[in-house]
Structure 1
Amino acid sequence: MIRYSRITNKIKREIVLLKGKPCKWGKCSFCDYIEDNSTDEDLNDKINFDILSNITGEYGVLEVINSGNVFELSQKTLNYIKEIIVDKKIDTLFFEAHWIYRKRVKYMRDFFGVKCIVKTGLESFNQDFRERILLKGFDYKNIDEIKEYFDSVCLMVGIQGQSKEMIINDIELARNNFNHFTINIFVENSTNIKPDNKLISWFQSEYKWLDSEQKCDVLWVNTDFGVGD
């Protein structure tokens, strides 16, 4: 498992894939990523400290991800991230949290004490697809409510049951409402959710221009950030 890398295009940053406790939501139908966790906090901290020791601060920007939410990292790991932010003169931090943690996002921003770009795995603005198929658990009233807590949304493309119209609308809403967003192409995994390869091919042809969209990161494969397996 590769757990440290550099993103060298668009928003240049170092990125680390850490280990935390099991995802508190843990219900997303398409996700087996949450298997990369452990209830052994000492083990998690040991792994995380080794990974974090690679950070140089060369870009002044760091992204921290794990198999769930930043809130599932131990306090020791969070404290060490904060030390590194100071020591390496990091001025911008990316991290991710599920909707259930929205009321605690401000606490984490204040804890780290630098500019934070907080991402959330919305996957789609289409409520029926998102909640009936993906089981995401986002009960927001409108986009402004999402923007109240989060700076960036992660969208998923290429799942059976999704349509071109949904994707077109999702991208338009993300571009018009957020200064940053991420698109992940769904890759078949151990879950029962299956990719729609025709839809993925259409997206790859129609939306290749997103590679030039400064505020959008596209993961054409799920290891495009250089971390993972």
Structure 2
Amino acid sequence: MERYNQITNKNMREIVLLKAHPCAWGKCRFCDYILDNSKNKMEMLKLNHEVLSHVTGKFGVLEVINSGSCFELPRETLAEIRSIVQKKHIRRLFFEAHWMYRNMLQKMRDYMGVPITFKIGVETFNNDFREQYLNKNADFSSAEEVAQYFDSPCLMVGIKGQTREMIDYDIKMLKKYFQLGTINVYTNNSTDVKRDEQLVSWFRKKYSCLDEDPSVEVLYENTDFGVGD
């Protein structure tokens, strides 16, 4: 599995995929990504140290992802990230966190000592689809509410049961309330959530303009950031 890469097309940065404790929620219907977590602390610390050793500070920006939220990384790994921020002159971090951690974001910003762009896996702003079908456990009522805490939503498109109208609305909310965002085109995995090929084809045609939009990163494959497998 690739765990380090450099993103050079949009928002240039280094990115690392680390191991963390099990996701505090871990019940999203579409997600088998949590299989990358661990309960073996020494294993996590050793792997994370090796991955972080590749960070050069080349762009002054570092994104750290894991199979859940940044708050589930071992304390020792967070301390190592903070040390790298200082030694490699990192000016900005990208972290991801679940909605349940919304009141802890400032504490992490204070700890790291540099600006953090916090991502959140929204998947969709359609409350019923997000909560009743995808089981996100993220009970916000609007995109505006999410923007009060987080900087960059991650949307998901191309799921059976999703509609064109839902996707149109989600992208409209992304552009209205956020300066950055990520759109993940759904890929079938080991869960019972399935990809809608017709919806994906429609999205790719209608929103091809996003490929040139510096504020939106579209992932057509799970590994488009160059990490994972």
Query: Normalising to structure 2: TM-score of the pair?
Result: 0.99
Name the % identity. Answer: 53
Cα deviation for residue 147 of structure 1 reads 1.4
Supply the distance in 2 between the matched residues of 1:45 and 1:202 (Cα, whole angstroms). 43
The answer to whether the aligner puts 1:167 opposite 2:204 as a matched pair is: no
- Aligned partner of 2:79 in structure 1 is 79
- Aligned partner of 2:216 in structure 1 is 216
Cα deviation for residue 137 of structure 1 reads 1.0
Aligned AA for 1:95? F
* RMSD, aligned CA: 0.7
Supply the distance in 1 between the matched residues of 2:39 and 2:127 (Cα, whole angstroms). 32
Supply the distance in 1 between the matched residues of 2:68 and 2:62 (Cα, whole angstroms). 17
Q: Which runs of 4+ in 1 moved over 3 A?
A: none
Supply the distance in 1 between the matched residues of 2:13 and 2:221 (Cα, whole angstroms). 19
SS at match of 1:149: coil
The answer to whether the aligner puts 1:226 opposite 2:191 as a matched pair is: no
Cα deviation for residue 143 of structure 1 reads 2.8
Give 1:6-21 correspondences, 5 Å limit. Answer: 6-21=6-21
Gap runs ≥5 in structure 2: none
User: Is contact 2:4-2:51 (8 Å) kept?
Assistant: yes
Supply the distance in 2 between the matched residues of 1:160 and 1:48 (Cα, whole angstroms). 36
Aligned residues: 229
User: Is contact 2:5-2:16 (8 Å) kept?
Assistant: yes
Query: Normalising to structure 1: TM-score of the pair?
Result: 0.99
Supply the distance in 1 between the matched residues of 2:140 and 2:184 (Cα, whole angstroms). 22
Cα deviation for residue 98 of structure 1 reads 0.2
Gap runs ≥5 in structure 1: none
Supply the distance in 2 between the matched residues of 1:29 and 1:155 (Cα, whole angstroms). 15
- Aligned partner of 2:149 in structure 1 is 149
- Aligned partner of 1:201 in structure 2 is 201
Aligned AA for 1:56? T
User: Is contact 2:127-2:141 (8 Å) kept?
Assistant: no
Give 1:104-183 correspondences, 5 Å limit. Answer: 104-183=104-183
SS at match of 1:202: helix
User: Is contact 2:125-2:142 (8 Å) kept?
Assistant: no
SS at match of 2:110: helix
- Aligned partner of 2:101 in structure 1 is 101
SS at match of 2:148: helix
Aligned AA for 1:153? P
